[in-house]
Structure 1
Amino acid sequence: MSVLNALYISRRPAAAFVVVGVFWGCFAAHVPELKAQLMASDALFGTLLLGSATGLVSSMWLAPRADRFLGARSMQFGVVALSLAWLLPSQISAPLVFAMAIALVGLCSGLLDVVMNARVSELEAAHARPLMNANHAMFSVAYAIAAVVVSFTREAGVPPPYVFAGFSIFCLLLAPFLRTDIVDVTAEDGYQGRYPLWPIALCGAITFVAFMSEATVEAWSALHVERTLGGGAAEGALGPAMLGLTMAIGRFSGQAVLEKMREVPVVIVASVISAVGAVLAAIATTPGWAYLGFGVLGLGVSVIGPTGLALVGKLVAPHLRTEAISRVAVIGFSGFFFAPVLMGLMSEAFGLRVAYGAVAGLLLMTVPLAITVARQPLVPVDRRQQT
């Protein structure tokens, strides 16, 4: 019941997580078609996706300002903007124009990501309980469902623009319900603390590794199944669907685990599990074995990113929480956009098997980062509750 209660408390930001998950699941399952539509090599396609990182980095500065300006309607604006932005990439065959369109997607996605994570962190402080994993689980559920839907639409020959338009209509219908009051926090009297650069850097690095690893499966699992292992279109689309499903299970489980355990040990164990999954995906000889690898990777990596975002909310003063989360979120979510570039280059040079092996090594890097975070002082709960 703790998971259901956590979702009820944070039901409005949870709906925003559903919106983001729907679109990225739809995109991941359409990667083979979009890549063919652009007539792009692995390296070129990965480089084009880097355009979204430009938009995402811009959101690091824009999101806190937009949040202050829009106030209670911040998430509504983000959902509408993202729903409209996703109508563009699937209709474009010119690589440069595609890069510009995906940059707009990155900007809108980054804005919504920052705002919805900030709302969850505010609710965590107000209710003195973890909520982040439950919300990120809703992203994974929506991601998996969207990928499964696309597996059917691709087999049926439905053009990608129609599928994206359908999801956009669904998400726009959710927007009116996402109006959320924000917590107006000012610095405490006599506050003389330094800007929390070190906690932001550490938590940002953890979320970066987690989301970068997640993105390798999202963007390249369908290609790995179809090209490396000879699967069909529906089998390829089930690669990201398996990731989304197991990440949802992992995050719901992580929500319950974090009610009883500290964050750092959870991150360390999850890193090892996800690295094993990446190795299984790398050595798979059939789509079934690849699904197993994606599933194990999803179970492990699912809790790392949300926990990194939750940790920074506990390491900084209340009046710096939204700004700190915006920095960590942008650092972390940039992994979604740098991963396709690096995977594309590595795939072109060595193949996707080697690329997934490199992901295993990357995931193990979170272990020393988590140990370092454990040495950082937490902001006392009562201090965070005063606002």
Structure 2
Amino acid sequence: MSILNALSLSRRPATAFVVVGMFWGCFAAYVPVIKAQLGASDALFGTLLLGSATGLVSAMWLAPRADRLLGPRGMQVGAAMLAVAWLLPGQVTVPLLFAVTMAFVGLASGLLDVVMNARVSELEARHNRPLMNANHAMFSVAYACGALVVGFAREAGLPPLPVFAGFGVIAVLALPLMRMDVTYVAAEDGYAGKYPLWPIVICGAIVLVAFMSEATVEAWSALHVERTLGGGAAEGALGPAMLGLTMAVGRFSGQAVAERLREIPVVIGASIISAVGAVIAALAATPLMAYVGFGILGLGVSVIGPMGLALVGKLVAPHLRTEAISRTAVIGFSGFFFAPMLMGLLSDAFGLRMAFLAVAVLLLSVVPAAIFAKRLPVR
């Protein structure tokens, strides 16, 4: 019941999370098709995905200003931009042009991401209860649904464009639900606090690891199932779908857990669980075993990013909340900048199995960062 109530309180940003999730799930399941039509190696494809990360990070630096300018329509503008931007990458066969189109995708996705997370943080402060996990769970549900739809579409021989266009229609129809008044908070009288650098850096590092790991599985799980384990197109699409479904379960569970436990112990436990999942996926002998690994990884990693973003909202002064979340998101979402490139290089040099083992090591690095964050004072 607490989950339903949380979604009711934050239904407007939750709609934006659904829009972002369904597009990225669609893309993840179409990765083998898009990669093949580009004729790109693992290393080159990973490098081309830097285009989306470049746009994403650029948008997040601009997001606080755009948020103030757009006001209640911030999420609507971001969602409309995203629907248009996703029409481009699936049609491109020239690698450099693909990177450019993905930069537009990253720009739109980054703007919407910062604004919708800031709106959730505002609602958390207003209602004095955690809401971040429930909203990120809606992203995961939409992500899984998008990947499953593409699994059927690929089996039917549909190219990317009509599927992305269909999701674009859904996004446009949902625009009225994303209008939300913004709460502007002035600095407290006599506020003389320093800029909250350490909360942003530490929480950003935690979110960075979570999103790097998530981006790795999103972009490469279908290829791992199809190429390493010999699965078909539908079996490959089940890789990112399994991640999305288990991340949804983990985040809905995390919503209930967050109302009973503090963020730090949950983040530490989740990093260990997700590392185990990455090892299982790396060593899998069959697609089914890989799904189990992706599922365990999804359950664990699902709560790390949302709790990192929620934590920074508690560690800074209210009037700095949107900016702090934006800066933390810049650090965190730069994971989408590093992960595809590093995964491609590791895969080319050592194979996808070793690349997924590297993800397990990365996830364990969250533990010392979380311990350090525990020493920071809560505002």
TM range (shorter): over 0.9
Q: Distance in 2 between matches of 1:54 and 1:231?
A: 32
Q: Which position in structure 2 is the counterpart of 1:234?
A: 234
Q: Which position in structure 2 is the counterpart of 1:164?
A: 164
Q: Which position in structure 1 is the counterpart of 2:191?
A: 191
Q: Distance in 2 between matches of 1:56 and 1:338?
A: 12
Counterpart residue type for residue 156 of structure 2: A
Q: Distance in 2 between matches of 1:149 and 1:333?
A: 26
2:337 is equivalent to residue 342 of structure 1: no
Q: Which position in structure 2 is the counterpart of 1:107?
A: 107
Structure 1 residue 177: deviation in Å? 1.6
Q: Distance in 2 between matches of 1:153 and 1:143?
A: 15
Q: Distance in 2 between matches of 1:267 and 1:177?
A: 32
Q: Which position in structure 2 is the counterpart of 1:295?
A: 295
Which 4+ runs in 1 deviate beyond 3 A? none
Q: Distance in 1 between matches of 2:364 and 2:311?
A: 19
- Cα deviation, 1:280-325, whole Å, max 9, x if unaligned, reads 0000000000000000000000000000000000000001000000
Q: Distance in 2 between matches of 1:267 and 1:250?
A: 12
2:122 is equivalent to residue 122 of structure 1: yes
- Cα deviation, 1:321-378, whole Å, max 9, x if unaligned, reads 0000001112112212321111000000000000000000000000000000010000
Mapping 1:272-283, distance limit 5 Å: 272-283=272-283
Q: Which position in structure 1 is the counterpart of 2:368?
A: 368
> What is the number of equivalent residue pairs in this alignment?
379
- Structure 1 segments unaligned to the other structure (5+ residues): 380-387
Q: Which position in structure 1 is the counterpart of 2:250?
A: 250
Mapping 1:72-221, distance limit 5 Å: 72-221=72-221
Structure 1 residue 222: deviation in Å? 0.2
Q: Which position in structure 2 is the counterpart of 1:385?
A: none
SS class of match (1:230): coil
Q: Distance in 2 between matches of 1:260 and 1:336?
A: 31
Structure 1 residue 174: deviation in Å? 0.3
Counterpart residue type for residue 145 of structure 1: C
Q: Distance in 2 between matches of 1:330 and 1:168?
A: 26
Instruction: Tell whether the 8 Å contact from 2:57 to 2:333 is kept in structure 1 after alignment.
Output: no
Identity %: 76
2:29 is equivalent to residue 2 of structure 1: no
Q: Which position in structure 2 is the counterpart of 1:384?
A: none
Q: Distance in 2 between matches of 1:60 and 1:243?
A: 25
- Structure 2 segments unaligned to the other structure (5+ residues): none
Q: Which position in structure 1 is the counterpart of 2:322?
A: 322
SS class of match (2:325): helix
2:64 is equivalent to residue 27 of structure 1: no
Counterpart residue type for residue 126 of structure 2: A
TM-score, with structure 2 as normaliser: 0.99
- Cα deviation, 1:140-192, whole Å, max 9, x if unaligned, reads 00000010000000000011111111111111110122110000111111000
Q: Distance in 2 between matches of 1:12 and 1:295?
A: 28
Counterpart residue type for residue 13 of structure 2: P
2:41 is equivalent to residue 44 of structure 1: no
Q: Distance in 2 between matches of 1:351 and 1:300?
A: 24
Counterpart residue type for residue 193 of structure 1: G
Instruction: Tell whether the 8 Å contact from 2:212 to 2:335 is kept in structure 1 after alignment.
Output: yes
SS class of match (1:183): coil
Q: Distance in 2 between matches of 1:213 and 1:339?
A: 7
Instruction: Tell whether the 8 Å contact from 2:272 to 2:363 is kept in structure 1 after alignment.
Output: yes
